[in-house]
Structure 1
Amino acid sequence: MRVIVADDAVLFREGMARILAEEGFDVVAQARNSAELVGLVRRDTPDVVITDLRMPPGFADEGIEAAAEIRSFAPQVGLMLLSQYVEVHHVLRLMEEFDGAVGYLLKDRVSDLGAFAVDVRRVAGGEVVIDAELVSRLVGRRRERDPLAELTHREREVLSLMAQGLTNAALSEELVLSPKTIEGYVRSVFTKLGLEPGEREHRRVQAVLRFLRWQ
């Protein structure tokens, strides 16, 4: 699997490239900033881009802006964004504007090489991967008039794992429940959140968006 890595910190960038190589990835190029990243992808399209969210010149959202530009001309490329910070608005943008094959992980997650490699491959395969730490922090927060209040503990657990990008099959394995039982919980979540079947909206994505906004 061919990968391009982008980060302004040379030590982190080189370390990332070495880690990926050890996990069987082919790191075809490295970028120091968002403009260089976009140019590299235009010249030699990889399977996945792994980029820091904050890069020069502004150290704000250059990584996600580069990801949006890449998605506009190379929609088949998986996009994995890394950050030192938990920033919910960036996660919401990924969920709303990108049609799958995206991920948001905290940089600390990279220390678990096996899990990181799995997440990169999931993004390359079209899945959405959200850092478990982000989801767990959101779960711990509460708001008045919570629209998720009708969900049972198990239904909230299912929705929390859905927010991390787990499919029904993965939910079944994670919770040690039959696929049919998982399907029942997912249907119940959709029903309680008022998400009716429709051609224009993906109910799974809409459920996760509500979860992220109201935690």
Structure 2
Amino acid sequence: MRIVLAEDLVLLREGITRILAGEGHEVVAAVADAESLVRAVVEHRPDITIADVRLPPGFSDEGLRAAIRLRERHPAEPVLILSQYVEAGYAAELLSDGAGGVGYLLKDRIGELDEFLDALERVATGGTAMDPEVVAQLLNRGRRRGPLAALTAREHEVLDLMAQGLSNQAIADRLVLALVSVEKHIGSILTKLELPPGQAVHRRVLAVLAYLDRAADRPLTPAPRAPSGADPAGPAR
């Protein structure tokens, strides 16, 4: 795949570039700020863009805003957003256009190479990839309330993987289940949660995340997750 990468930290930018090159991908542009990101994507039209949420000059959500601008110009432009912390509201915002081809991962996930590459492939081919910790945060906040409490243990497992953006077949492979069993579990989940059946995977993810947000009884808010060895009192990245 041809990839545009936006990350202001030089060591991380170079590290991701080398990882991707080692897997046979080409980083056609590696930039450090949001404006350069937009220019690079317009120039190179990559197969997928990987961008940090927080980029210069403001280090707030410039990377996310740039990605949304790009998708407004070029609908379904595949974008994988990286963040240092779980900020679940960004996941819903990325999914809100309903077009698919979006992902939101913690930077720690890069070290789990198989998961990172799987997410990259899913997003590049129009799928969805939500970080397991984002989904876990929502599930843990809402699982004791309302219809979520009526789900079986297996249905909770399936719901978790649904919300991450896995296809029915991928869920079956992950849980070592027959595809027909997964389809039955999903049908039961959608019925219990009163969600529309038969949706495309990315729309299904959006519906599930929206439901989990409502079940949590409060709006999505950032929940810092300090990286291993980092000073939790240090500046947010």
TM-score, normalized by length of structure 2?
A: 0.83
Give the structure 1 partner of residue 116 of structure 2. Answer: 116
**Shift in alpha-carbon separation, 1:202–1:116, aligned structure 2, 3 A:** closer
Residues 190 and 197 in structure 2, CA contact (< 8 A), matched pair in contact too: no
Maintained 8 Å contact 2:164/2:205: no
1:134 corresponds in structure 2 to 134
In 1: Cα distance, 2:87 partner to 2:19 partner: 25
Distance 1:63 1:35 in 2: 9
1:156-195 equivalences in 2 (<5 Å):
156-195=156-195
CA-to-aligned-CA distance 1:175-201 (integer Å, 9 cap, x gap): 1111111111111111111124589x9
Which residue number corresponds to residue 211 of structure 2?
A: 210
**What is the one-letter code of the residue matched to 1:22?**
G
| Counterparts of 2:98 and 2:109, CA distance in 1 | 22
Contact 2:142 2:148 in 1 (8 A): no
Instruction: Say if 2:19 is the partner of 1:22.
Output: no
The alignment partner of 2:28 has SS state of strand
Q: Distance in 2 between matches of 1:80 and 1:213?
A: 25
C-alpha separation in 2, matches of 1:116 and 1:145: 32
Once residues 25 and 14 of structure 2 are traced to their aligned partners in structure 1, the CA distance between those partners, rounded to angstroms, is 14
Deviation of residue 205 (structure 1)? 3.2
Aligned to 2:125: 125
Alignment partner, residue 11 of structure 2: 11
Residue 121 of structure 1 deviates from its aligned partner by 1.2
Structure 2 vs 1, CA of residues 203 and 114 (structure 1 numbering), >3 Å: closer, same or farther?
A: closer
Separation of aligned partners in 2, 1:88 and 1:205: 12
Equivalent residues, number: 214
Say which structure, 1 or 2, has more relative contact order (CA 8 Å, 6+ apart): 2
Alpha-carbon distance change, 92 to 202 in structure 1, aligned in 2, over 3 angstroms: closer
CA distance 1:97–1:147, change in 2 (3 Å)? farther
- Deviation of 1:142 after TM superposition, in Å, equals 4.4
2:89 maps to what in 1?
A: 89
Q: 1:2 to 1:198 in 2, by over 3 A?
A: closer
* Residues in 1 aligned to 2:54 and 2:87: alpha-carbon distance in whole angstroms: 11
Please give the TM-score of this superposition, normalised by the length of structure 1. Answer: 0.91
Residues 197 and 178 from structure 1, CA distance in 2 versus in 1: closer, same or farther, beyond 3 angstroms?
closer
% same residue: 45
- Can you give the 5+ residue segments of structure 2 that lack an aligned partner in the other structure? 217-237
Quote the Cα distance in structure 2 between the aligned partners of 1:143 and 1:184.
20
Structure 2 CA distance for aligned equivalents of residues 203 and 163 of structure 1: 8
Q: Which amino acid aligns with 1:133?
A: E
State whether residues 54 and 83 of structure 2, in contact with CA within 8 Å, keep that contact through their aligned partners in structure 1: yes
Cα deviation digits, residues 107-158 of structure 1 (max 9, x gap): 1111122331221111101111011222233333347744422222221211
State the Cα distance separating 1:82 from its structure 2 match.
Answer: 0.4
- SS across alignment from 2:96: helix
- Cα separation, partners in 2 of 1:165 and 1:71, compared to 1, 3 Å: same
Cα–Cα, structure 1 residues 147 and 92, in superposed 2: closer, same or farther, change >3 Å? farther
Residue identity opposite 2:184 in structure 1: G
Write the distance in 2 (CA, Å) between the matches of 1:3 and 1:28: 6
